[in-house]
Amino acid sequence: MGTSDPMPQFTYLVRQLKKHNLAYLHVVEPRVSGNADVDAPPESTNDLLRQIWCGEDKDSVFISAGGYTRQTAIETAEEKGGMVAFGRLYIPNPDLPIRLMHDLQVATYDRATFYIPGDYTGRGYTDFPGADDVPTGTVPAAKL
């Protein structure tokens, strides 16, 4: 949020939201700023917000997004619980769930093609192929 210490504001906000029995809380990790990945200190996480939101309530859903790789997503889900969301990686990987499940190479995105005003060609959105090395018997991405 551009402040030196956003936690007092956000801990208050999450405590207030928790009172309203919402379905989930979705946060973006500090390693993403706007449309770019940044080098955030290791201690700079949303773990405090996760702790407030989930507490002892195992039914609380906490979703974290922002700069995850397959490995860091697995580690976060296993060690901290909750869910991990991917955004930018879905654009060049229409079959992202299959790629992640089978540890297949993930295509890189081309930020220059994101949200081009007046471009209705689908360039950068619909021109990425699916993975070639999907194991036999795997559900096609279109059926996920």
pLDDT mean values, one per 10 residues, the chain (144 residues): 76 94 92 71 82 84 92 93 91 90 90 82 77 68 45
Between the alpha carbon of residue 56 and those of residues 12, 18, 61, 114, the distances in Å are: 18, 13, 12, 40
pTM of the full structure: 0.79
DSSP annotation string for 71-130? HHHHHHHHHH-SEEE-SGGGTT-TTHHHHHHTTPPPPPP-GGGTT-TT--S-TTTT-PPP
pLDDT score for 143 = 44
pLDDT score for 102 = 92
Contact predicate 100/114, CB 8 Å: no
Give me the residue spans of the domains in the chain: 1-85, 87-134
Task: Write out the two tokens for 59.
Answer: 């039914």
Matching residue, tokens 């974290």: 64
pLDDT score for 71 = 95
